[in-house]
A and B are shown apart, each in its own frame.
Chain A
Amino acid sequence: MSGGTSPIFGNLDWNVTPYTDLLRDVNSSTIVGAGAASVLVLGGIATLLLFSWMRWWGPLYRNWLTSPDAKKIGIMYIALALVMLARGIIEGFVMRAHQATALGTLAQPEGGLVAPDHFAQLFSTHGTIMIFFVAMPLLIGLINFVLPQQLGARDMAFPVLNQVSLGLTAAGAGLIMISLLVGQFGTGGWTMYPPYTGKIFSPGEGVDYWLWAILISGMGSTLTGMNFAVTIFKERAPGMHFMRMPLFCWTSLCVAIMLIYAMPALTVSSAMLALDRYADFHFFTNDAGGNMMNYANIFWMFGHPEVYILILPAFGVFSEISSTFSGKRLYGYTSLVIASMSIAVISFTVWLHHFFTMGQSAGVNIAFGIATMIIGIPTGVKIYDWMATMWRGRVRITTPIVYLTGFFLLFVIGGLSGIILANPSIDYQVHNSTFLVAHFHNVIIPGVLYGMLAGIHYWFPKAFGFRLSETWGRRTAYLFVGGFVFTFMPLYVLGLMGMPRRSPTFQNPDFMPWMYIAAFGGVLMLCALASLTWTFWTSYRNRAALAVPGGDPWNGSTLEWSTPAPVPEWTFPCIPQVTARNEWGERKRAGDPWQAPAEYTDIEMPANTAHGLLIAIAAFALGFAMVWHIWWLAILSLLAIPGMVALRGMRVIEPTIIPAAEVEQADRRFRQQIASLTPVTRADEETERNRGVPDISEFAG
Chain B
Amino acid sequence: MSWAKIGAGCVLAWLATDAAMASATLQQSFLQPMGPVAAEQFTHLLRVVGITMVVILPVLVGVPFILWRYRYARPRGDYTPQWEFSKPLEYALWGVPVLVVIVLASWLWYSTQKLDPYKPVGPESLRVQAIGLDWKWVFIYPEEGIATVDELAVPVGRPVEITLTTDTVMQSLLIAPLTGQIYAMPGMTTKLNFSATRPGEAEGENTQFNGSGFGRQKFTVRALAPADYASWVARGRSGLVLDENSYAMLRRQTVLADARGDLGLDKRAEPIVMTLGQRDIFRQIVAKYHQPGGASAGGRWGGTGLPQTGTTGASE
Residues of A within 8 A of B (CB): 102, 104-107, 110, 115-117, 120, 187-189, 193, 195-196, 200-201, 286-288, 292-293, 326-335, 355, 357-359, 361-362, 365-366, 369-370, 373-374, 376-377, 380-381, 383-385, 387-388, 390-397, 401, 405, 408-409, 412-413, 415-416, 419-420, 422-429, 431-433, 493, 496-510, 682-683, 700-701
Q: List 9 A-B contacts (CB under 8 A).
A: A193-B170, A196-B209, A335-B94, A381-B93, A384-B58, A429-B30, A431-B172, A433-B207, A498-B30
Residues of A contacting B257 in the complex (Cβ-Cβ under 8 angstroms)? 106-107
**Closest partner residue, chain B, to A495 (CB atom):** B29
Closest A residue to B30 using CB positions: A429
Are B207 and A431 closer than 8 Å at their CB atoms? yes
A493 pairs with B66, CB closer than 8 A: no
Q: A377-B101, A502-B214 are in contact. List 17 more A-B contacts (CB 8 A).
A: A102-B215, A107-B268, A110-B216, A117-B212, A369-B105, A373-B104, A381-B94, A390-B67, A392-B77, A392-B83, A425-B40, A429-B41, A429-B181, A432-B208, A500-B214, A507-B25, A507-B216
In the complex, residue of chain B having the shortest beta-carbon distance to the beta carbon of A514: B18
Closest to B104 in A: A373
Known: A392-B80, A412-B56, A509-B24. A196 touches B210 (CB 8 A): yes
Return the contact of A196 from the options B66, B79, B187, B211 (Cβ within 8 A). Answer: B211
CB neighbours of A200 from chain B (8 A): 305-306
**What residues of chain A lie closer than 8 Å to B70, measured between beta carbons?**
326, 390-395
How distant is the Cα of A405 from the Cα of B60 in the complex, in angstroms?
10
Q: Does B1 contact A (CB under 8 A)?
A: no
Beta-carbon nearest neighbor of A396 in chain B:
B72
Chain B residues near A326: list those with CB within 8 A: 70
Q: B-side interface residues toward A, CB under 8 Å?
A: 12, 15, 18-19, 21-22, 24-25, 28-31, 38, 40-41, 44-45, 48-49, 52-53, 55-56, 58-60, 62-64, 66-67, 70-73, 75, 77-86, 89-90, 93-94, 97-98, 101, 104-105, 107-109, 111-119, 168-170, 172, 174, 176, 179-183, 185-188, 190-191, 203, 205-216, 218, 255-257, 267-269, 288-292, 294-295, 304-306
Task: Give Cα A431 to B176, complex, Å.
Answer: 11
Chain B residues within 8 Å of A383, by CB: 59
Q: Which residue of B lies closest to A326 (CB)?
A: B70
Residues in B whose Cβ lies below 8 Å from that of A293: 185
| Residue in B55, B180, B185 whose beta carbon sits within 8 Å of that of A425 in the complex | B180
Q: Which single member of B38, B80, B101 contacts A373 (CB below 8 Å)?
A: B101
* A355 CA / B170 CA spacing, docked (Å): 12
Chain B residue contacts of A365, Cβ below 8 A: 112
Could you tell me if A329 and B48 are in contact, using CB atoms closer than 8 angstroms?
no
- Do B72 and A201 touch (CB < 8 A)? no
Judge whether A287 and B295 touch: CB under 8 Å. Answer: yes
Give bound CA distance, A483 to B12, whole Å.
23
List the B side residues contacting A391 at CB < 8 Å: 66, 70
| Smallest CB separation, B12 vs chain A (Å) | 8
A695 CB → nearest B CB, Å: 14
Q: Please, how many angstroms separate the alpha-carbon atoms of A329 and B79 in the complex?
A: 11
Known: A393-B79, A497-B19. A384 touches B218 (CB 8 A): no
A510 touches B25 (CB 8 A): yes
B108-A370 in contact (CB<8A): yes
Chain A's nearest CB lies how many Å from the CB of B299?
A: 13
Residues in B neighbouring A195, C-beta threshold 8 A = 169-170, 186
* Cα separation A504 to B209 with both chains bound (whole Å): 10
Q: Which of A358, A423, A424, A493 has the most CB of B within 10 A?
A: A423
A-B pairs, 5 with minimum CB distance: A428-B180, A498-B28, A106-B269, A505-B215, A432-B207
Closest Cβ–Cβ distance, residue A566 to chain B (whole Å): 27
The docked-state distance in angstroms from the alpha carbon of A127 to that of B84 is 40
